[in-house]
Chain A
Amino acid sequence: MNTFALPPPPPRPAGLRRRASDLLYTRRGLLLLLLLAPPLLWFGVIYLGSLIALLANAFFRLDDFTGQVVREVGVSNFVALFDPANLDAARRTIVMAIAVTLACTVLAFPLAYFMARHARGWSKAALYIAVMLPLWSSYLVRLYAWKLLLAKEGAISWAAERLHLSWLIEALLATPLVGGPSLSFSTLGTFIVFVYMWLPFMVLPVMASIERIPASTLEASADLGAPPLTTFRRVVLPLAMPGVAAGSIFTFSLTLGDYIIPQVIGDSTLYIGQVVYRQQGVAGNIPFAAAFSLVPIVVIGVYLWLAKRKGAFDAL
């Protein structure tokens, strides 16, 4: 063993690196502080700072005359929120969010149930990827795809003609509130696209909560004499609710905050997001835009509170 002479240990190094390492070793708190300082500074100053700026601006107002923001605290913006046009936009957006959530739930269930209870091994993994795949493609591209589909000369019209269902589409478009000049400029079109976009967000949590139902529970239900539909209604549905609530958080808040889909596919009626965007852009009325953007925050906050009571957070 002694064919080798280990070089003498370097003299207790007073080197900076060694001393720094020693210091950080004995003072863990200092190490933690150094690690956290950059991210906390960034988030504190930039993110929290901008949220504060948002809140502050909500109380300022825009002087119509000078076009400048007057930095005085006032509630004129919040009063303006109750203008019929604004209330309209808010109501429209909330109704759309609820409708989208319901539709996503209905559509997600068959797939989620199938994946949770019938798919095994590779087929389950394949389905999982199939559901995630659209999410991995660009949001705008998927939106664009629907623009193509919904166009007057596009695939859906073509299919409708072949199936002799064109009259149905005409009828739907003629319906007030829901319809519009064409599928690609209508509330109905907007609705379809919203459902398409957020569907994966609903499928996965619902699948997870159905998976959590032990097989023995379902067997017990059948054992006790319940036909399949009753089992579904009384056992599966209630137990899947936390998953639905979790998924609905996504569908609800994503719809509330989106302004692009209504702008591209919608008719000229305005949604919350569009109002906010227009106000801060061309109109330069940042204070009002800020105030109006508080509306989705409050609505989402209420919704989250309701969802928590339904146990959504346990399912996430």
Chain B
Amino acid sequence: MTAAVTLDGVGCTFGHGAGAVRAVDGVDLTIAAGEFFTLLGPSGSGKTTVLRMIGGFTLPTAGRVWIGGQDVTLAPPYARAVNTVFQDYALFPHMSIRDNVAYPLMVRKVDRATRERRAEELLALVQLPGVGARRPAQLSGGQRQRVALARALISEPQVLLLDEPLGALDLKLREQMQSELKALQRRLGITFLFITHDQHEALSMSDRIGIFNAGRLEQLGTPRQVYDTPATRFVAHFVGAANVLEGEAARSLTGHAQAMLRPERITLGEAVGARAAGPVCEVQFFGAFTRIKVETAGTRVQADLPLAPGAVMPEPGQTVHLHWNNGAVHALSAAA
């Protein structure tokens, strides 16, 4: 099956000479049709630029972009079978909601009756029946986001780009939208390309994740892969809490030159068979778990401990013994 999106050596450099900024550098990426793919990374990592190059808003200075098997590297946005849900929704303020949603059909010269009927269908799909006559200014943020979604879906694009669509919503609404979006994608079977800087969102919603840092793609994999076996130190830190060990500590605790150990894989136990031991220097209660930091092997190791109700939390200064399985340790490549 033809991949939905392929990026081949794509790069984007702004400016010239000494002041040039390499926003994106040498990205190779293939997204399968029907996949929920997330671009994850901190601000300025280049993920938005990659999205814009796929959408056609920014033209790459190196490499090629394919969508649905067609080379669209230099094609304008209106020539690509890709639609975008913008971070600020970008609804047209001078048009009604129905006209906003029907806009893609209007510019394709679909007749009024058909496109209005279709717009109503899509508004029902995103659970906003009956707002067709209103203006964007009259809707709440969450409602506007659904309208943006409906508008982007109405012309049945091959790929839907979502640029941090949930960033402006409050927590409860955000979680609700996350499951709705996921369900919608499953149902429609369209390829979703999702951008976020929130790793929880990425882990919970994606089929695969691409992690960006400073313009480069650091790792590409399923959520499990990215979480359990991070390719670089950056990925290890960015996705979930991590103990990244190096040098002396790494060698004495794990036998590798550089390794990662997830805090939740550490348990407290007896001195016998303990991997490490030392005094507790910090205790923080997070509800679902208690986080302790232990001084050992010349470094601080963090452990997230689920405590049964009624069990006793370790005190600062108290010496504890840490246990973990071999499988909990993941060696990081020296170059990372």
B121 at the interface (CB under 8 A from A): yes
Are A7 and B74 also in contact (CB < 8 A) when A1-B188, A22-B79 are?
no
User: Is A3 in the interface zone, CB < 8 Å from B?
Assistant: yes
Which B residues lie within 8 Å of A21 (CB)? 76, 78
Pull 24 A–B residue pairs with CB atoms less than 8 Å apart, ordered by A. A1-B121, A1-B125, A1-B187, A1-B188, A3-B121, A4-B114, A4-B118, A4-B121, A6-B155, A6-B156, A7-B108, A7-B110, A9-B108, A10-B108, A12-B79, A21-B76, A21-B78, A22-B75, A22-B76, A22-B79, A25-B76, A26-B59, A26-B74, A26-B76
A-contacting residues of B (Cβ < 8 Å)?
59, 74-76, 78-79, 108, 110, 114, 118, 121, 125, 155-156, 187-188
Point out which of B78, B79, B125 has the most chain A C-beta atoms below 10 A from its C-beta: B79
Q: Which residues of B contact A10 (CB under 8 A)?
A: 108
List 9 tightest A-B contacts by C-beta distance, closest first.
A25-B76, A6-B156, A4-B118, A26-B74, A22-B76, A7-B110, A6-B155, A1-B188, A1-B125
Q: How many A-B contacts if CB must be within 8 Å?
A: 24
Question: What CA separation (Å) do A297 and B336 show in the bound complex?
Answer: 68
Contacts of A26 in B (CB 8 A): 59, 74, 76
B79 contacts across to A, CB distance below 8 A: 12, 22
Q: Mark A255-275, 1 if CB is under 8 A from B, else 0.
A: 000000000000000000000
In the assembled complex, which residues on chain B have CB atoms less than 8 Å from the CB atom of A4? 114, 118, 121
The prevalent SS among residues of A at the interface is loop
- Cα(A21)–Cα(B156), bound, Å: 23
Q: What residues on B are CB-neighbors of A22 within 8 Å?
A: 75-76, 79
Q: Size of chain A's interface in residues, with CB distance under 8 A? A: 12
A1-48 CB contacts (< 8 Å) to partner B: 1, 3-4, 6-7, 9-10, 12, 21-22, 25-26
The smallest C-beta distance from A2 to any residue of chain B, in angstroms, reads 9
Closest chain-A Cβ to B188's Cβ sits at a distance in Å of 7
Closest to A10 in B: B108
Q: How far in angstroms is the closest Cβ of chain B from A3?
A: 7
Closest to A25 in B: B76
Alpha-carbon distance between A22 and B118 when the two chains are bound, in angstroms: 29
CA of A4 to CA of B114 in the docked complex: distance in angstroms? Answer: 9
- Interface contacts beyond A1-B125, A3-B121, A10-B108: sample of 9 additional A-B pairs, CB < 8 Å, sorted by A: A4-B118, A4-B121, A6-B155, A6-B156, A7-B108, A9-B108, A12-B79, A22-B75, A26-B74
Bound-state Cα–Cα, A4 to B117, Å: 10
**Distance of A167 from chain B, by nearest CB (Å):** 67
